A = this chain, B = another copy of it.
Amino acid sequence: MSEADSQLLLARPIDVANIGVDLFADELEHQRVHVSRVDWRPPAEDTEDALGRLALQAADIARANDLALERIEDAKPLLVGVGVAGQLLPGMSERTLLHAGPPITWPDMSGPLRGAIIGAALYEGLATDPDDAERQARAGAFEFSPCHERGAVGPMAGVVSASMPMCIVENETHGNRAYCTFNEGLGKVLRYGANDAEVLDRLAWIRDVLARVFARALERLGSPIDLRSMTAQALQMGDEGHNRNRAGTSLLLRELLPVLLELDEPSSDVVAAARFIAGNDHFYLNLTMPAAKASADAAAGVERSSIVVAMARNGTEFGIRLSGTGGRWFTGPSGMIDGLYLPGYGPEDANRDIGDSTITETVGLGGFAMAASPAIVRFVGGRAEDALEATRAMYDISWGESRSYQIPALGFRGTPVGIDCREVVHTGLLPFVNTGIAHREPGVGQIGAGLVEPPMEAFVKGVRALAECV
């Protein structure tokens, strides 16, 4: 190990990570030192120069990372209300269609993203039928942009158009906001690329009824909902904040129940909205995501910081942004998901990894909080112990531990938070992501869920870019 390398390791306030030969770990454990054993993988190829250059700045980077992590941790994301995308998000024309992940053009889009783009065009009345929408898309009649670049996040295809209602999350500490659509439920839904009449009718109902009832309920509550606190509670109740949202959705409903009862809106609308939320365990995901985005955005732009502030996939590419490298995306091919399939489907039907929901992993939830959610393995595969192990492994690539997101089964240890891009490249250990699986053809919907590895390439590019600006 070079002196630069040891400097890098010493600058990190972690327990011992044993990489490779077990004898050393055995001896340390014998001395009651906590050792995390990780599969050793060599640092990604051709990164030694970049890592070396960063190692020379380890102390400065450590200070920058402390600041970035402090911002993530101090963020207080509050659900403050509901608005309309066209009025809330910057630069939204009526022909703007936002999507999940890093930037992408029509020819490169996968089936589910194309399906969702077509659906949104129909929903906005921009096209007469799917063929017309596709022709226009090909001809460049729509403006495409990542949600992330307009302050929003979207699960799966993540398509947002001007008239869609958005939940508004405000980070009280730093004053920034983030936005997300309402969760449509499972099955045939826009975010999995479905776009038939059933899907469009539901979107219209969400716009005309659900958004209004939800907005009035939030107003009547009198004070905004503290999403960090609610998610922290949900983690004590078996959620991990990405693919298991049953507790979060239940806690949200419990909070809203009294005000829903007092709402001065047509009773049939209130009942329909309440039934819709109560019938959809994932409703809360679309609040966790903007809460995570509002927290991670607060950590962006810290010079020299190697902390990842966004991870997102468009179904073709996976991209990350680092705190210290501004708005640049570093990308690699989106991965195939290893998981459990619904009856009748298999890996050959699966689309590549897609969606902005990895913003949850970015702030210490999802794959990083799996130890809080042993029941998640029924959904994504594996054994309960794997859920514990996933979280344990993530401490090795994370800058700190969450003060608010605690894991009962690990003695209330905070979840690992603040992915250090250098450590991903250095250890070869990629962030754990648990996610839904979309059918590769538009219009089918979800066919499973599982675990996926991001491409190392994205992190290597990030490390090299950071090395050039320190």
Residues of chain A having any CB pair with chain B under 8 Å: 236-238, 246-247, 249-251, 253-255, 257-258, 260-262, 267, 270-271, 274-275, 278, 373-375, 377-378, 383-385, 408-412
Do A375 and B261 touch (CB < 8 A)? no
> Which residues of chain B come closer than 8 Å to A270, judged between CB atoms?
261
- Whole-angstrom distance from the CB of A29 to the nearest CB of chain B? 17
Residues of B within 8 A of A383 (CB): 411
Please indicate the chain B residues that have their CB under 8 angstroms from the CB of A409 in the complex. Answer: 374, 384, 409
In the assembled complex, the Cα of A258 lies from the Cα of B270 at a distance in Å of 9
Select one of B247, B384, B410, B412 contacting A250, CB under 8 A.
B247
Complex Cα–Cα for A253 and B236 (A): 19
Q: Within the complex, what minimum Cβ distance (angstroms) separates A277 from chain B?
A: 8
Residue of chain B at shortest CB distance from A233: B246
Docked-complex contact B237 and A246, CB < 8 angstroms: yes
Q: Are B374 and A408 in contact (CB under 8 A)?
A: yes
CB-CB under 8 A from A410, the residues of chain B are 384
The answer to whether B271 and A258 have CB atoms under 8 Å apart is yes
Chain B residue numbers with a CB within 8 Å of A274 are 257-258, 261
* CA distance in complex: A237, B236 (Å): 8
Contact A250 B261 (CB under 8 A): no
B residues in contact with A247, CB < 8 Å? 237-238, 247, 250
With a cutoff of 8 Å between Cβ atoms, the chain B residues found around residue A411 in the complex are 383-385
Nearest CB in chain B to that of A388: its residue: B409
The answer for the CA separation of A283 and B267 in the assembled complex, in Å, is 27
Partner among B236, B255, B262 whose Cβ is within 8 Å of the Cβ of A267? B262
Contact B258 A267 (CB under 8 A): no
Residues of B contacting A237 with CB < 8 Å?
Answer: 237-238, 246-247, 250, 375
Verify B253–A275 contact, CB threshold 8 A. no
Q: How far is the CB of A238 from chain B (nearest CB, A)?
A: 5
**A257 adjacent to B246 (CB under 8 Å):** no
> How many copies are assembled?
2
Partner among B238, B246, B257, B373 whose Cβ is within 8 Å of the Cβ of A253: B257
* 13 A-B interface contacts by CB (under 8 A): A237-B247, A237-B250, A237-B375, A238-B408, A250-B254, A254-B278, A260-B261, A261-B261, A261-B274, A374-B408, A374-B409, A384-B411, A385-B411
Contacts of A377 in B (CB 8 A): 408
A388 to chain B, nearest CB (A): 8
**Known A254-B278, A374-B409; 4 more pairs at CB < 8 Å:** A236-B238, A250-B253, A253-B253, A409-B409
Residues of B within 8 A of A373 (CB): 408
Interface-centre pick from A275, A408, A411 (highest chain B CB count, 10 A): A408
Residue of chain B at shortest CB distance from A271:
B261
User: Once the chains bind, are B262 and A260 in contact (CB under 8 Å)?
Assistant: no
In Å, the complex CA distance between A209 and B92 comes to 51
CA A410 to CA B383, docked complex, whole Å: 9
Shortest beta-carbon contacts, A-B, top 5: A374-B408, A250-B250, A375-B408, A237-B237, A237-B238
Name the distance in Å between A397's Cβ and chain B's nearest Cβ: 24
A275's partner among B258, B375, B384, B408 (CB-CB below 8 A) is: B258
- A408, B383: Cα distance in complex, Å: 9
CB-CB under 8 A from A267, the residues of chain B are 261-262
CB distance from A276 to the nearest CB of B (A): 10
CB distance from A370 to the nearest CB of B (A): 11
- Tell me the minimal C-beta distance from A178 to chain B in angstroms: 26
Whether B271 and A262, one on each chain, are in contact in the complex, defined by CB atoms closer than 8 angstroms, is yes
Q: For A238, what are the chain B residues with a Cβ–Cβ distance below 8 Å? A: 236-238, 247, 408
A254 to B246, CA, bound (A): 11
Question: When the two chains form their complex, are residues B251 and A278 in contact, meaning their CB atoms are under 8 A apart?
Answer: no
Complex Cα distance, B281 from A251, in Å, reads 11
Distance, CA A249 to CA B237, complexed state (A): 12
Whose C-beta in chain B lies nearest to the C-beta of A413?
B384
Complex Cα distance A375/B410, Å? Answer: 10
CB of B260 within 8 A of CB of A257, answer: yes
Q: Are B258 and A278 neighbours in the complex by a CB distance under 8 Å?
A: yes
Question: Closest approach, in angstroms, between the C-beta of A183 and any C-beta of chain B?
Answer: 16
Taking the nearest CB of chain B, how far is it from the CB of A382, in angstroms? 11
Residues of B within 8 Å of A250, CB to CB, are 237, 247, 250-251, 253-254
The listed residue with most B CB atoms (<10 A of its CB), out of A238, A374, A409, is A238
